[in-house]
Amino acid sequence: MPRRLLWLSMLVAGLVLGLAASARAEPARYTVVRVDLRKERLSLFLNDDSGVAFKRFDRLQAWLAERGRRLDFAVNAGMYHADFAPVGLLVREGREESPLNLEAGTGNFFLRPNGVFLVSDEGPRVIESSEYPALAPRLRGLSIATQSGPLLLHHGAVHRSFIVDSPSRKIRNGVGVSGHTAIFVLSETPVNFHEFALYFRDVLHCRDALYLDGTVSALHSTALGRSDFVRELGPILAVVSP
């Protein structure tokens, strides 16, 4: 069977220059993976058949291999509690497993507006979390949804709380959308939120993008020969093939 991963269009980190703040000597570097959802299917994974969280790509990979499937691509899918349960909304295979979280709180997840990345028959979308309750009943074939925060971009606008020269630079990952394509980005060098948002807007030409997480950011790709292990993870977004 042909390798379905050929449908993934990838830009390798070392070849891409980011939009770093002018005071930085080194430009930011990113790894970018594009998943065309007209040709590939994204799935969400959290627990195995016994209810134990996978936590790592290699454990998910082994579980899939036992079922005759291959893990082609994976990233961490958003923020989670100490028990690896998602902080907010999680929809897998059309079933809601964790509810939308519109509560106030501290930390990046609660930096309003936060957002939801979802996939339906209409393709991928990144929306503000508060828009989800009205939109969800109208979506045909909603397959997956994951909530995280903050929104990096909303209708082309950078999050109002981001500071241009913020010294808070970390490894970060996120997802943007362009047509039927979900664009996953992992920074290979520390960046602040404003720089990360500008990369999605000005380089990748996304109008909507969502921050997934920071220091736990990890990526698995058979095409790149890469499978990160930074920390144990909660929900995982993945492309799987027979």
Contact 241, 3 (CB under 8 A): yes
pLDDT in tens, 23-59: 444 689 999 999 999 999 999 999 999 999 999 999 9
Longest dimension (CA), the chain: 51
The CA distance from 156 to 182, in Å, is: 16
The count of structural domains within the chain is: 1
Quote the domain boundaries for residue 112: 4-241
Distance from the Cα of residue 64 to its chain's centroid? 21
Is 72 a residue whose pLDDT tops 80? yes
pLDDT of 104 higher than 60: yes
**What mean pLDDT value characterizes the chain?**
91
Whether pTM > 0.85 for this model: the answer is: yes
Check residue 27 and give its pLDDT.
84
Contact 241, 178 (CB under 8 A): no
Give whole-number Cα distances, 94 to 7, 90, 137, in Å.
24, 10, 12
Q: What was the pLDDT predicted at 199?
A: 98
Rounded percentage of the chain residues whose pLDDT exceeds 70: 89
Query: How would residue 9 be classed by pLDDT, with cut points 50, 70 and 90?
Result: very low
Count CB neighbours of 52 within 10 A. 11
Q: Per residue in 138-157, pLDDT tens?
A: 999 999 999 999 999 999 99
